[in-house]
Structure 1
Amino acid sequence: MWTEGVPVEDEARRQLINTARLPFIFHHLAVMPDVHLGKGSTIGSVIPTRGAIIPAAVGVDIGCGMIATRTTLNAADLPDNLHALRTAIEQAVPHGRTVGRGKRDDGSWENPPDLVNALWRELLPGFQRIVAKYPRLQSTNNHKHLGTLGTGNHFIEVCLDEADRVWFMLHSGSRGVGNAIGNTFIELAQADMRQHLANLPDRDLAYLEEGSAHFDDYLEAVGWAQDYARRNRQAMMSNLIAAVRKLITQPFGIDLEAVNCHHNYVQKETHFGSEVYVTRKGAVSARRGELGIIPGSMGARSYIVRGLGNEESFCSCSHGAGRRMSRSEAKRRFTIADQVRATAHVECRKDQAVIDEIPMAYKDIDAVMQAQRSLVEIIHTLRQVVCVKG
């Protein structure tokens, strides 16, 4: 556990122990400083397995992660009216979720743009192979969710680094189709283990065994959803840049330092001389020299980091600050006035719908970074000036 100086709730400790006792866990669990209670397994943990995968540990926002890019713009190049910049971004990228009878979800495209259509054509053959086996996935939000943000803790930000250079950064995953794939295989794992669920400490620790039909199908589907998530972030970043170019007419360059990383995913890796499946549930790969992103909250700093390749952590680091209270608790405890004060330095929404994302609902990002100083080194420190929330 890399949690020195960071509080860990008792429920999360019990969840970690439940997961660690499973017979197919390889070597040990690695626990990141942003660890907190999750579904089945804790968010902020690295779960190496041999011969099985736990679908609920990977979760339903498969491939969720971050993308960031540095530009040649400086703080002085930004418009004085940052509200106009936020509005331009909100118009360029569908976000949130508004579902009503007979109405289109405003968080999806009505008519996807050419970029999204082109990316979907590349994803379609793999999706069709999955749907051939699992027809229920056909009617999910897939094409029209590609290049859209979502809700909750997903965000788009304009940030400044320690030299006042402008960065664009965003956080999202595989959207509706990834959610459907995740839930489908969580249900299948529980159905396959129906006779054994009573022996598990939590039904959401139901697993798929290597060699079974559902295991192979899950690997195919989860790999596709992770590809979807990466392309989803790329599409949003392209549309974000295009929106800013319309508002800031002076030419500027991008991709000077770019990072696109998952933090909810599973892949095969070699550790301690063995080939194993590594599930990072709210954790980022941090191999030696590998760049990653660790965001704080909508009122705190974020970090671009370089991995130190710490093998005890399975070459991983935290995926953020980590929540210190539930969304319902944040809404009960804080007011709009609290949100206004906590985000006074940021152009963002400051209404009842985003109180669950108030900075005080998250752990201290500085304490989190201090706790994992053996996992990563800080390359850039970012502070947001614009934040778009779903």
Structure 2
Amino acid sequence: MNRQRNYDVLHASGVPVKTWTQGVPFEAQAKQQLLNVAELPFVKPWVAAMPDVHVGKGATIGSVIPTVNAVIPAAVGVDLGCGMMAVKTSLTAKDLPDNLFAIRSSIEAAVPHGRTSPRSGRDKGSWGDAPADVLAKWALLAEDFDQLCERTPGLKNTNNLNHLGTLGTGNHFIELCLDEADNVWVMLHSGSRGVGNRIGTTFIERAKKEMQRWMINLPDKDLAYLPEGSEHFI
């Protein structure tokens, strides 16, 4: 069977860059970022760009960067723990009211979301007093978190417990969905919150300092990396 290839390939001095971007906008700066990544000696066998690819910090957002024996913290990003989940409920469409306003209001009241400046008092996107179920989950995570804090200074000062089980800001959401059989699903896109951001930025800066110490020149300083076996490679 002869299948037409549905991706294009960018070539420069590094490994190939396969781009699934036919028919969608593709910034010149994003292309250059992909080619920069492709030059790194531990990136193989190729780099891939998805249809939503766009300029990021060093590495493009919407790309797949396979590495061998090294990690690029900026490519991992600062959204550590950001994720999506969909859960099928026992409800069907006929169980839902015609007007979903009350359900939405109940969700908004139950799950902290958004963010307010510390100057205005408690961050509205965090728990004031974490409920019992959140405290129980935190008890399971506390030992691992303490170990992370030993290697990541400042992590203790994040809104860690008070962000557990909260939604986040920006494009994060809780959504009721129907499938083809009219079953009701709850879909969640949650944020990394303060802990993920602090871990990400810490290791990005550590990698940059290592590049300076080893006098390694990169096509973009935000592509600083940590090789396996080095002090900060975890």
Conservation of the 8 A alpha-carbon contact between 2:169 and 2:191: no
Tell me the SS of whatever aligns to 1:122: helix
Amino acid at match of 1:98: T
Tell me the SS of whatever aligns to 1:199: coil
Partner of 1:82: 100
2:142 pairs with 1:111: no
Tell me the SS of whatever aligns to 2:232: helix
Amino acid at match of 2:148: I
Conservation of the 8 A alpha-carbon contact between 1:66 and 1:171: yes
Conservation of the 8 A alpha-carbon contact between 1:56 and 1:204: yes
2:167 pairs with 1:149: yes
2:226 pairs with 1:208: yes
Partner of 2:33: 15
Work out the number of aligned pairs and report it: 216
Partner of 2:87: 69
Runs of at least 5 residues in structure 2 that lack an aligned partner in the other structure: 1-18
Shift of 1:166: 1.2
Amino acid at match of 1:97: R
Runs of at least 5 residues in structure 1 that lack an aligned partner in the other structure: 217-390
1-structure distance, mates of 2:134, 2:215: 41
Conservation of the 8 A alpha-carbon contact between 1:190 and 1:197: no
Instruction: Say which of 134, 142, 164 aligns to 2:152.
Output: 134
Q: Which moved more, 1:98-107 or 1:121-130?
A: 98-107
Structure with the bigger RCO (C-alpha within 8 Å, sep 6+) is 1
1-structure distance, mates of 2:134, 2:127: 10
Amino acid at match of 1:67: M
Conservation of the 8 A alpha-carbon contact between 2:168 and 2:192: no
Conservation of the 8 A alpha-carbon contact between 2:85 and 2:189: yes
2:221 pairs with 1:185: no
2-structure distance, mates of 1:11, 1:44: 14
Name the Cα RMSD after superposition. Answer: 1.6
Could you state the TM-score of these two structures normalised by the residue count of structure 1?
A: 0.53
2:163 pairs with 1:159: no
Amino acid at match of 2:151: K
Shift of 1:135: 3.2
Shift of 1:209: 1.1
Larger Rg: 2
Could you state the TM-score of these two structures normalised by the residue count of structure 2?
A: 0.87
1-structure distance, mates of 2:149, 2:119: 26
Instruction: Say which of 58, 81, 91 aligns to 2:109.
Output: 91
Tell me the SS of whatever aligns to 2:50: strand
1-structure distance, mates of 2:52, 2:77: 17
